[in-house]
């Protein structure tokens, strides 16, 4: 925030960075080769809903847009769910080998929200992975920072920190990682995990 904004007590809302998401498909290849995690085909966008008709209209439009494109390709409809913290998750499910299409879907959601002026409401995007031992992993993309971090939940709201750090090492420079570990916030009960 600029000096003048601070002085005058104005917060400029942070706009999201959208394009780094497209690094995911190539990173997924490295992840599979290095650690054996494959995408489950599920990805979601998490955003803060705004009160009022305007936002709910935009949300409905986005949902229809995604449904029409996925229906045309024989895919599953998009679901919207609400979490305990009042955030909405738009979950898209694709076949597990269609990661590029999934990422394009997620990018379409982001762009629609941004185009309608709701960019600052975007929180994160989550893409789910699983390995042969059924361990769950999500790669979470923080829009405001333009960076990724891994999230490996265990039962009972615990995290497998060792696995997360291992995944970061395995994927290495293929993704832009969030350097500040304090920002790797957990998303317990995220849909699609």
Partner 1 sequence: MAARTRYAPDRGLTVRMTATMFLLGVVFVAFIAAIIGIGTAYGASSTAIVFFAVILGGGFAIGSLFYSDKIALATAGAHEVSPTDSPEAARLHGIVDRLCALADMPKPRVAIADTDMPNAFATGRNADHAVVCATRGILRRLENDELEGVLAHEMSHVAHKDVQVMTIASFLAIIAALLVRIAFYGELFGGGRRSNDSNAGVVMLALMAVSIVVYAVSFLLIRLLSRYRELSADRSGALLTGRPSSLKAALVKVTGDMARIPTRDLRTSQPLNAFFFTPAAHLSASSSKLANAFSTHPSLERRLAELDKVQQQLGRTAG
Cα-to-chain-centroid distance, residue 1: 25
**What string marks each residue from 1 to 30 as x (binds partner 1 by CB under 8 A) or -?**
x----xxxxxxxxxx---------------
Give the separation between CA 155 and CA 180, rounded to whole angstroms.
Answer: 25
Nearer to partner 1, 120 or 192 (CB): 120
Q: Is 189 a binder of partner 1 (CB under 8 A)?
A: no
**What string marks each residue from 88 to 127 as x (binds partner 1 by CB under 8 A) or -?**
--------------------------xxxxxxxx-xx---
Contact between 33 and 167 (Cβ < 8 Å): no
Cβ contacts of residue 68 below 8 Å, gap of 6+? none
**What string marks each residue from 60 to 89 as x (binds partner 1 by CB under 8 A) or -?**
------------------------xxxx--
Give the separation between CA 112 and CA 110, rounded to whole angstroms.
Answer: 6
**Among 52, 133, 134, 173, interactor with partner 1 by CB under 8 A:** 52
Give the separation between CA 180 and CA 193, rounded to whole angstroms.
Answer: 24
Give the separation between CA 184 and CA 145, rounded to whole angstroms.
Answer: 11
Residues near partner 1 (CB under 8 A):
1, 6-15, 48-55, 57-58, 84-87, 114-121, 123-124, 142, 144-145, 157, 180, 182-183, 185-186, 188
């Amino acid at each position: 925030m600029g000096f003048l904004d601070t002085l005058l007590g104005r917060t400029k809302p942070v706009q999201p960075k959208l394009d780094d998401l497209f690094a995911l498909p190539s990173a997924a290849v490295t992840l599979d080769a290095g650690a054996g995690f494959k995408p489950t085909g599920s990805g979601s966008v998490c955003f803060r809903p705004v009160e009022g008709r305007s936002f709910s209209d935009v949300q409905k439009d986005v949902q229809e847009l995604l449904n029409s494109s996925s229906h045309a390709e024989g895919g599953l409809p998009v679901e919207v769910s609400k979490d305990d913290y009042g955030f909405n998750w738009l979950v898209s499910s694709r076949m597990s080998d269609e990661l590029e299409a999934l990422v394009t879907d997620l990018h379409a959601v982001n762009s629609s929200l941004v185009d309608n002026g709701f960019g600052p409401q975007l929180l994160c995007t989550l893409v789910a992975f699983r390995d042969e031992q059924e361990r769950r992993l999500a790669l979470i993309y923080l829009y405001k920072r333009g960076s990724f971090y891994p999230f490996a939940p265990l039962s009972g709201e615990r995290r497998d920190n060792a696995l997360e750090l291992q995944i970061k090492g395995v994927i290495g420079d293929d993704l832009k990682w969030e350097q500040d570990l304090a920002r790797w916030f957990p998303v317990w009960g995220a849909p699609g995990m």
